[in-house]
Amino acid sequence: MQDVSPFRNAAQRETDRAAKRDAVLRAAVRMFNERGFFATSLDDVAASLGISKRTIYHYLANKDQVLLECVTIGLQQLLQAAEEARAESGNGRDRLMKFLRRYAEINMDDFGRCVIRTGEEALSRESLPRYRALKKEIDVALRQMLREAIDDGSIAPIDVKIAAFTLAGALNWPARWHEPDGALSTSQIADAMVDILMAGLDSRSA
Amino acid sequence: MQDVSPFRNAAQRETDRAAKRDAVLRAAVRMFNERGFFATSLDDVAASLGISKRTIYHYLANKDQVLLECVTIGLQQLLQAAEEARAESGNGRDRLMKFLRRYAEINMDDFGRCVIRTGEEALSRESLPRYRALKKEIDVALRQMLREAIDDGSIAPIDVKIAAFTLAGALNWPARWHEPDGALSTSQIADAMVDILMAGLDSRSA
């Protein structure tokens, strides 16, 4: 057995740095969600972690970058959910349903909530293009999954654009009303909402 | 025929005052929706009307009161839509559908958009109770209409709370994505969204 070096190697230092940066983002996103972005200062975030604002600047340039990172994490979780759902077996309806359930759950979690609650008004002009590009990717993925489900006959033919907005709107909304300590779990809420929405998309004999 | 007095009587002065106050609110709500509440000053609003900020203060106390009036108008439009729908003939499903279509349309109009886009983060602590009470009334009305439609068998039995959030979320969302100059009219969008949502609520033989 080798002696353990008291010095951290490059990989350990990088892991350490990433963990600290994550902790800053997690503390910040919770404050943004609770108090609102404009009412939260990086001093508040630093205080909640028992560090100084100068320490935060070691990991993130400014409050705008903190927000951009937070919404980017949320949007990437949604994109990943789309990718995972599309890799599933089953028909188009099954994959769509899988995606919508995760979509709803993510919007009730810290970073997903921030995407919806803080919105694009709070992002700087420089940050908007990246944010919008990611949002666009998610919309494209959702429309593509709707189209595939229509094409394989597992849901009714429908205006894909309107359907995508209807689904996204319904499933974005829990970011505003859901209380983490509520009686229903996020997955129970996600399932119940998606059941209603999927029934609206199902093939029907007139 | 009486001579027309060059002096305005009390009723005329009151009408005049209300029209000017409305013009201020309409100009303000459009700027809030386009630029965001925090990025809009009352100086901007005044300039767009060719008046001074001092003139605005003749009608409204401050920017917070302007916002509160704007969201109150939007919320009262929604409440009125609920009342009108409930006075309609037909079954519970018909009345619900009528309400949901107007609900969607209002959220694509100036004051409805402001309710959703500006959200409660921007309201002052003093304004929140009135705002929340109105929101609550709308939620209660929607749940009541869902319950009536379930009771008369015109829609499937369903968790009324979750259904209300699902519907409201879907129909609030156009406030964020709808562009007034888009290819579809607001009533076309409202109809298409409500068709999807109502199909999700319809009675189904398993």
Q: Which residues of B164-184 are buried (b: 16+ CB within 10 A; e: fewer)?
A: bbbbbbbbbbbbbebeeeeee
pLDDT tens for A8-46 read: 888 888 888 899 999 999 999 999 999 889 889 999 999
Closest CA to B166 of A130, A168, A67: A168
Which residues in chain B have their CB less than 8 angstroms from residue A177's CB?
165
Q: At what angle do helices B92-107 and B128-151 cross, to 10 degrees?
A: 150
Residue A133's pLDDT is 95
Q: Which residue has the tokens 């990717």?
A: A137
Q: Which residues of A58-90 are buried (b: 16+ CB within 10 A; e: fewer)?
A: ebbeebbebbbbbbbbbbebbeebbeebbeeee
Fold of A8-60: Arc Repressor Mutant, subunit A (1.10.10)
**CA nearest to B199 within chain A:** A200
Q: Which residue has the tokens 């394989």?
A: A152
Please report which confidence band the pLDDT of residue A147 belongs to, taking 50, 70 and 90 as the band edges: very high
Q: Which residue has the tokens 């108008």?
A: B73
Residue A93's pLDDT is 93
**CA nearest to B32 within chain A:** A121
- Residue to mutate among B32, B121, B131, B158, with most A CBs inside 10 A, is B121
Domain residues of chain A, as ranges? 8-60, 62-201
CA dist B60 and B127 (Å) reads 14
Q: Which residues of A140-154 are buried (b: 16+ CB within 10 A; e: fewer)?
A: ebbebbbebbbeeeb
B198:A199 CB<8 A: no
In CATH terms, the superfamily for domain A62-201 is Tetracycline Repressor, domain 2 (1.10.357.10)
Residue A58's pLDDT is 92
Q: Which CATH architecture group holds B63-201? A: Orthogonal Bundle (1.10)
Question: Encoding tokens for residue A161?
Answer: 């654009």
Helix-strand-coil percent breakdown of chain B, rounded to 5?
Answer: 70, 0, 30
**Nearest Cβ partner for A196 among B38, B177, B201:** B201
Q: Where does A120-185 have alpha helices with state H?
A: 128-151, 160-172, 174-177
- Residue to mutate among B35, B142, B166, with most A CBs inside 10 A, is B166
**Nearest Cβ partner for A196 among B121, B166, B168:** B166
Please report which confidence band the pLDDT of residue A66 belongs to, taking 50, 70 and 90 as the band edges: very high
CA atoms within 13 A on the CB side of A14: 3
What is the mean pLDDT of each successive set of 10 residues along chain B, which is 206 residues long? Answer: 76 88 96 91 96 93 94 96 94 94 95 87 88 95 95 90 92 83 86 88 58
